Amino acid sequence: MSLLLASLCSLAVAGELEAELGGNLKLFHIATVPFDNDLFATEVQDGSAFLLPDYPLKPDTVRAQATGAGLLTGRLVGSVSGGPVTLDVHPQLTMQPGNPASGGLALTQTGVGLPEALDLSWEAVDDDDLQVQLRADRLSVTVEGGPVRATLGRQAITFGHGLFFTPMDLVNPFFPTAVDQEYKPGVDAVRLDAFWGMAGQATVVSAYQGDWDLAGTVHAAYVQSTLGVWDIGLFGGAVHGDVVGGLGSAGSAGPVSLHADLTVTAPEALIDEADRLAPDDEVFVRGVIGASGSPTTTTMLSGEVYVQSNGAQRPGQYLDLYGTDRFARGELWLAGRTYMGLSLTQEIVPVLSGSLFTIINLEDPSAMLGPGLAWSVSDDVSASLGAYVGAGARPRDYQVEDYDTGIDAALAAADLADRFVRSEFGLVPVAAFANLSAYF
């Protein structure tokens, strides 16, 4: 790094240094309204909503209440370039309640709490009322030479073509339901790209995801070339000890854009049997196929169909999947097997547009709806409103007296899931958000 700074300084003296600086401030408010069900109960002294309670319910356990919380983020977007070298720096400030009562804050995906190979986060305030954190969301050095480009540091990395469903986005997963889609949180990685022809590209990436062993890192390679009007890509990787292979394609048929991604995963194939905490030996497949187009100049339509063979075969298994490592690290965010996603964006007037998306579990069946409204207040200010609404069979209520107080807790939880969980999106409460963003 000192050598890099010295090089940039010498270029600045020679007048060959270019710098850019911008940024934004974003204010979010997210409210969550749980439906009236014992699954959303919480112990009074805990104070956190949406935690599954112990079974049987204790006398001081109460139903969760509607909650709301605000979030403020500020980001500087800076880059310095000199010759073949570019330094990107995005410091990000995040302010939120110290003990947020709304689980909906996770919808913003600020990157706070992600694994860091180099600790570039600072807790300015951390108490029961307020959390203020400064994090370097981007800090990377890029060197270009001819058809080759190398990047080292914190950066955003994406593979695949999926919109709702992203089976190939395994290095740096990002939920498609995140309220703020503008910036994908950065991950600590080294990346090498090589280019040829009109669209030929080969990419090799190694990323830190919590540890330096195979289980805590992701290593991936992607090679893409063009055949006719189609971009065809091959993916291969060692993902947290899994061996993953994939195939992706994107092209068009007239005015309609088409895309597809398919991955096959051999779980924990690179991890010693003795090191496995919870072996998962079943090879599984994830695949998406989709299309998008604009029937008019003010309308945009998109649709996808998605299958993941490692999903639950019955609703009673959903809660078990939510507790797995794949969900914790964002690799999976759906627990079923077969889905459809549809979205519509419609310009109402030049500065105002409406949107609606739905994600449907075809086997429950159940769905999540996402209406939205976006307003371009001025060239530098925008505002939006939106919501996420679960639609489907709600879980059945249970009674404390239904459970023997001496029953094993694990058996009680499994019994609860099989008897009372009836659909995936029937578990989703209503979450509404408002956002105001200013750019400079």
Measured in whole angstroms, the distance separating CA 75 from the mean position of its chain's CA atoms is 19
**Cβ atoms within 10 Å of 196's Cβ, excluding its own:** 10
Q: Is the distance from CB of 223 to CB of 240 less than 8 angstroms? A: no
Please name which of 111, 160, 158, 157 lies closest in space to residue 136, comparing C-alpha atoms: 111
What single letter denotes the amino acid at residue 58?
K
In terms of Cβ atoms closer than 10 Å to its own Cβ (0-12, 13-18, 19+), residue 424 is: buried
Q: What is the dihedral of CA 357, 363, 365, 367, to 10 degrees?
A: -20
What single letter denotes the amino acid at residue 419?
R
Cα–Cα distance measured from residue 47 to residue 100, given in angstroms and rounded to the nearest whole number: 9
Exposure of 392 in the CB half-sphere (CA atoms within 13 A) = 25
How many residues can be counted in the chain? 440
pLDDT 10s per residue in the chain (440 long)? 444 445 545 545 445 789 999 999 999 999 988 777 766 655 444 444 334 445 555 545 555 677 888 899 999 999 999 989 999 999 999 998 876 544 555 677 788 888 999 999 998 888 878 889 999 999 999 999 999 999 999 999 999 999 999 999 999 898 888 888 899 999 999 999 999 988 899 999 999 999 999 999 999 999 999 988 899 999 999 999 999 999 999 999 999 999 999 999 999 888 766 555 455 568 999 999 999 999 999 999 999 999 999 999 999 899 888 888 898 888 999 999 999 999 999 999 999 999 999 999 999 999 999 999 999 999 999 999 999 999 999 887 655 445 444 445 555 555 667 777 889 999 888 999 999 999 99
- Quote the tokens at residue 273: 């049997």
| Residue 333: strand, helix, or coil | coil
**Cβ atoms within 10 Å of 254's Cβ, excluding its own:** 6
Cα–Cα distance measured from residue 60 to residue 75, given in angstroms and rounded to the nearest whole number: 42
**Cβ atoms within 10 Å of 260's Cβ, excluding its own:** 19
DSSP assigned state of 440: -
Token pair 């195979």: residue: 214
pLDDT at 126: 81
In terms of Cβ atoms closer than 10 Å to its own Cβ (0-12, 13-18, 19+), residue 143 is: middle
Q: Is the distance from CB of 226 to CB of 200 less than 8 angstroms? A: yes
In terms of Cβ atoms closer than 10 Å to its own Cβ (0-12, 13-18, 19+), residue 74 is: middle
DSSP assigned state of 413: H
- Quote the tokens at residue 341: 């996603």
- Quote the tokens at residue 128: 């029961």
